[in-house]
Structure 1
Amino acid sequence: MKKPAQPPPASIIKLVLVLSMIFMGACGLVYEYVLSVLGNYLMGTSYEEIFIIIGVMMFAMGIGSLVQRIVAGNLFEKFLLLEVLLGLLGGFSATIVYMLFAVTPAYKVILYCIALSIGVMIGMEIPLLIRINQEYSESLRVNLSEILCMDYIGSLIGALLFTYVLLTHFTLAKISFVLGLTNILIGLVSLFVFRYFLDRFGLLLLVTLVSLGSICFGFYKSADWSRWAEQKYYNDPIVFSETTPYQHLTLTKGRREINFFINGHLQFSSSDEYIYHELLVFPPLVLSATAEKILILGGGDGLALREVLKFPSVRRVDLVDLDPGVIALASHQPDLIHLNQASFSDARVRIHGSTGVSLGETIEVVTRNWRSEFALDSRLEPVAEVNLYLIDADLFVRTFDDLYDCIIIDLPDPSTLELAKLYSFDFYRLLINNLKPEGFLSLQATSPFYSKNTFLSIGKTLREAGLKALPYHENVPSFGEWGWYLCWRHDLTAAQIRKKLDSITDFPTTQFLTPRLLPTCFIFPKNMLQTEKEINFNSKMNPVLWAYYRNDWKYGPD
């Protein structure tokens, strides 16, 4: 292919440079998001890794802006080569880190090295374009404003695309390949537009096409590579794996049990989940013998709902869960349907988005009369109308003012700042407004043994918010010693609550809990709830619970 006799018009060159800057600005920001979110998922350290990796990449961009000063010669060729290298490294970055995560703890070093390298190359892009564009701008002032403005516009576009498009349609691995493809396509387009200025067009074209093919192959194989790497992380075969806009869901199935993980952390095992869910649901429900209206916050797996629907007095259940992916999994995956006893059956959910409300159609759920005096009684009685709200629990309690006989809080541990707000003074103060004066509330509160400070802080927060809180515990083999709180707002004392529990003689069908066992769960061994440390309550403006949780599970309670 012969070199053109004339260079392209200055207006074309300028247009390509401006558009390139927009796309590069978008890609640069999304690279930061992908690596920081990946680090957060893998290390499970809340926003810590997001902050650090973004900071590392910003630092590296500064280094890159200095490094570009030594770049000399044909700047067009250097720019094209930079885009191709950035596309290759960026495209394969998430897959490389994730595959190394499965086989070696050195993945952390690789993650930071890749973040540094990508940051350096991003940092070189803008100064190189400014140097190239200076021949086509009226002045330095105009040159800087043109390039930097397009970079900032691209960053906004990248943020919007990542949040509302890429995260909802692609895994992190595929997002990185999309970004790499974009960088290489920028190089390919620029290769032909700037051909007049290139001395090694054939070599650059070959490198670009090979890189393009590599990225396309990587995109095609990324799902297989990710499954291989993810399977290395789990003992049992993976039967379901999906990344939703909120979290990564994994379901594994062994010979005797299924296990459900969110972001790599075990949420329940079918071998003993009934212990946890019976302890979570039964105390408030058996104390509210005539409870008709129940609110469940979290519980998208349908297991707490399964226990609630055992009580014939219940007529309505409102279940609030942010992630429709969890409810879809629990509603359609055969093993989970068997486990939750099809508690979502016939509930047809219309999803309107996480900032709105998705209300399932009103359905009638029926069960056999467990209180019947006749052993052969097979009558079916209506149990509940189930409504599903796909909304953040914090937004729900700030938006709705309905009253409930019982509130069940089945939320993940406060392992992130986002989750810690759902254990805050502010959240509980609002939630009290949804609890009837004679109603009861229960919630899981992590382990009183392994995370004592966290457990005590949750109790103190509940009391500061105006609730009476009685702790209880039981051993759940998959998690060890686990704790909950039973809360109420009326004038009953803890002694009166214990007396009520002692007087219970009848239960719906259970796999673990009995009327005689339940009162003993409110008895703790000597000194288990004692600490010399001053425990503070948790609030949105002072999220001490997150710090307690991290320290407890890392070092043990003080």
Structure 2
Amino acid sequence: MTAALAEPRATTRWRAVLLAAVAACAACGIVYELALLTLSTSLNGGGIVETSLIVAGYIAALGLGALLVKPLLAHAAVTFIAVETLLGIIGGLSAAALYVAFAFVDGSTWVLGLGTALIGGLVGAEVPLLMTLLQRGQVAGATDTGRTLANLNAADYLGALVGGLVWPFILLPHLGMIRGSAATGMVNLVAAAVVAVFLLRHSVSGRQLAAALCALAAALALLVTLLVRAQDIETTSRQRLYADPIIAYRHSAYQEIVVTRRGNDLRLYLDGGLQFSTRDEYRYTESLVYPALGDGARSVLVLGGGDGLAARELLRQPGVESVQQVELDPVVIELARTTMREANGGSLDNPHVNVVIGDAMDWLRRADVPSGGFDAVIVDLPDPDTPVLGRLYSTEFYALVANALAPGGLMVVQAGSPFSTRAAFWRAVSTIRSAGYAVTPYHVHVPTFGDWGFVLARRGDVAPKPTVPADAPPLRFLDQRVLDAATVFADDVRPRPMQPSTLDNPRIVDDMRHGYD
């Protein structure tokens, strides 16, 4: 083989390696951004404002990084290795830093902003450097430049696709946020090492190449240590967020789930928000379930309520023959059947309860509703503090529920606190009314929650009167006197006329963000 033929083949080989590195780095870049978005959701609620700021800030940082790297293009190979080393370290440590900051100093917001800016800037510096490297040694015309850019973009976008699939289906469910980010940083460093071996060995001295590889090895060792110790860091940081010892933790595809126990007090938290405490959950559960049963409900649909507490009470009520339970998160069901089994009495394993895993709105659109519909529907969903949950507090959602209700059947909705989130509560009332229901709001005191509200509704023009079924089992809190008083609202939480929340305009999410006003 002549030297003239060998040179183009060698050039082709290193360019192929470089394009592979482009794809790997692009995959890492998109994983870092998705990790920041996931952390924003888990730690700060991840509303539309926070999500928009992260995405917009990341894109702006991409452009800034591309501009700042221009003076270093004359040393593209060395600069690229430095950029990838920094990106591997910062990206790999970002999740751990954000989690620790949130737990110990309540500084997760500024860490999130700084991490977004740094990672976006470094990723933005990659493309000009890679373009320079791919054209090295060429006298490029317009066509050759176009081909080079096409190859670069193809590798970049393909890598982004791979990263976008790897994060939700492999890294997050199997490694979690901290170890998933650390593993991604390690991939970044390995890609940088491969590029260093192929590109730097002919342009720098052996000592300089060894120094670069040692720096990469040191960074890799740091991330390996983080990967090994991530469980300790996460456990220590997480426990600091909760007053009681954590006995179970899961990070599902939808949320962070924590169960704590101190003595006889078992508590469930979803994304940091308290869902129930066994000290007083009976007040909430009895107030949610029994007013919906009227007199003689036989079939009941429960939307949400994956902890099994509503199903527990329904099984106590004489005459209830079947309970259809629809819960989005299978991990919540798993914990309800194990860790929380004592609290719910094993209700989800009762043969009269049929558990379906699925989104409540999708299930309502496709469900095979029993002939005549359900006698009662209990909507026990988390507060609508994200757009995903806001759609389950929309006019369209309650219209779908109406299709599943038997004529004269009752629906009850947990609607949050009329004191702490007054606008959101009365927004829920107005939204249910806009779907064609006559409504009766009521509220009770639950010590761990404070003043908590519900909405009882029936299709038509006659508002239902909340009543305790005549054949109800012995209850610890609810009776007719309490329920009658629950429909009275003092002047500081008086009814407010509100526009409904819809899929097109989920006003209730913004209400939750503002809290009490």
Structure-1-length-normalised TM-score: 0.86
CA distance in 2 between counterparts of 1:273 and 1:316 reads 23
1:19 aligns with 2:23: no
CA distance in 2 between counterparts of 1:50 and 1:526 reads 37
1:391 maps to 358
CA distance in 2 between counterparts of 1:543 and 1:120 reads 33
Q: For residue 266 of structure 1, give the secondary structure of its aligned residue in structure 2.
A: strand
2:448 maps to 478
Instruction: Select the residue among 339, 346, 350 that pairs with 1:342.
Output: 346
Q: Is the 1:440–1:488 Cα contact (8 Å) retained in structure 2?
A: yes
**In the TM superposition, what whole-angstrom CA distance separates every residue of 1:159-214 from its partner, at most 9, and x where no partner exists?**
12223222322211112112101101101222322323333111111111111111
Q: Is the 1:7–1:196 Cα contact (8 Å) retained in structure 2?
A: no
Q: Return the letter of the residue paired with 2:298.
A: E
2:121 maps to 120
1:513 maps to 478
CA distance in 2 between counterparts of 1:31 and 1:537 reads 37
Q: For residue 249 of structure 1, give the secondary structure of its aligned residue in structure 2.
A: strand
Which residues of 2 match residues 21-420 of structure 1 at below 5 A? 21-135=22-136, 139-194=144-199, 195-199=201-205, 200-285=208-293, 287=294, 289-333=295-339, 336-345=340-349, 363=351, 385-402=352-369, 403-420=373-390
Q: How far did residue 505 of structure 1 move?
A: 4.5
Q: How far did residue 50 of structure 1 move?
A: 1.9
1:529 maps to 494
Q: For residue 135 of structure 1, give the secondary structure of its aligned residue in structure 2.
A: coil
2:4 maps to none
Q: How far did residue 490 of structure 1 move?
A: 5.1
CA distance in 2 between counterparts of 1:173 and 1:47 reads 23
Q: How far did residue 42 of structure 1 move?
A: 1.5
Distance 1:22 1:489, change over 3 A: same
Q: Return the letter of the residue paired with 2:100.
A: M
Q: For residue 536 of structure 1, give the secondary structure of its aligned residue in structure 2.
A: coil
Q: Is the 1:174–1:219 Cα contact (8 Å) retained in structure 2?
A: yes
CA distance in 1 between counterparts of 2:68 and 2:330 reads 46
Q: Is the 1:65–1:120 Cα contact (8 Å) retained in structure 2?
A: yes
Distance 1:229 1:515, change over 3 A: same
CA distance in 1 between counterparts of 2:384 and 2:329 reads 17
Q: For residue 457 of structure 1, give the secondary structure of its aligned residue in structure 2.
A: helix
**In the TM superposition, what whole-angstrom CA distance separates every residue of 1:45-65 from its partner, at most 9, and x where no partner exists?**
423222211211111111110
Which residues of 2 match residues 424-463 of structure 1 at below 5 A? 424-463=394-433
CA distance in 1 between counterparts of 2:90 and 2:9 reads 31
Q: For residue 136 of structure 2, give the secondary structure of its aligned residue in structure 1.
A: helix
Q: For residue 251 of structure 1, give the secondary structure of its aligned residue in structure 2.
A: strand
Q: How far did residue 241 of structure 1 move?
A: 1.5
| Number of aligned positions between the proteins | 502
Distance 1:526 1:105, change over 3 A: closer
Q: For residue 195 of structure 2, give the secondary structure of its aligned residue in structure 1.
A: helix
CA distance in 1 between counterparts of 2:471 and 2:359 reads 36
Q: Is the 2:439–2:463 Cα contact (8 Å) retained in structure 1?
A: no
Q: Is the 1:446–1:483 Cα contact (8 Å) retained in structure 2?
A: yes
2:3 maps to none
Percent sequence identity over aligned pairs:
33
**In the TM superposition, what whole-angstrom CA distance separates every residue of 1:254-290 from its partner, at most 9, and x where no partner exists?**
23412211111111111111111110001011x1x32
CA distance in 1 between counterparts of 2:60 and 2:337 reads 46
CA distance in 2 between counterparts of 1:212 and 1:452 reads 51
Runs of at least 5 residues in structure 2 that lack an aligned partner in the other structure = 1-6
Runs of at least 5 residues in structure 1 that lack an aligned partner in the other structure = 1-5, 347-362, 364-384
**In the TM superposition, what whole-angstrom CA distance separates every residue of 1:465-486 from its partner, at most 9, and x where no partner exists?**
0111111110011111110011
Distance 1:250 1:136, change over 3 A: farther
Q: For residue 31 of structure 2, give the secondary structure of its aligned residue in structure 1.
A: helix
CA distance in 2 between counterparts of 1:526 and 1:180 reads 56
Q: Is the 1:448–1:528 Cα contact (8 Å) retained in structure 2?
A: yes
Distance 1:284 1:136, change over 3 A: farther
Q: How far did residue 8 of structure 1 move?
A: 8.1
In proportion to residue count, which structure has more helix?
Answer: 2
Q: Is the 2:438–2:461 Cα contact (8 Å) retained in structure 1?
A: no
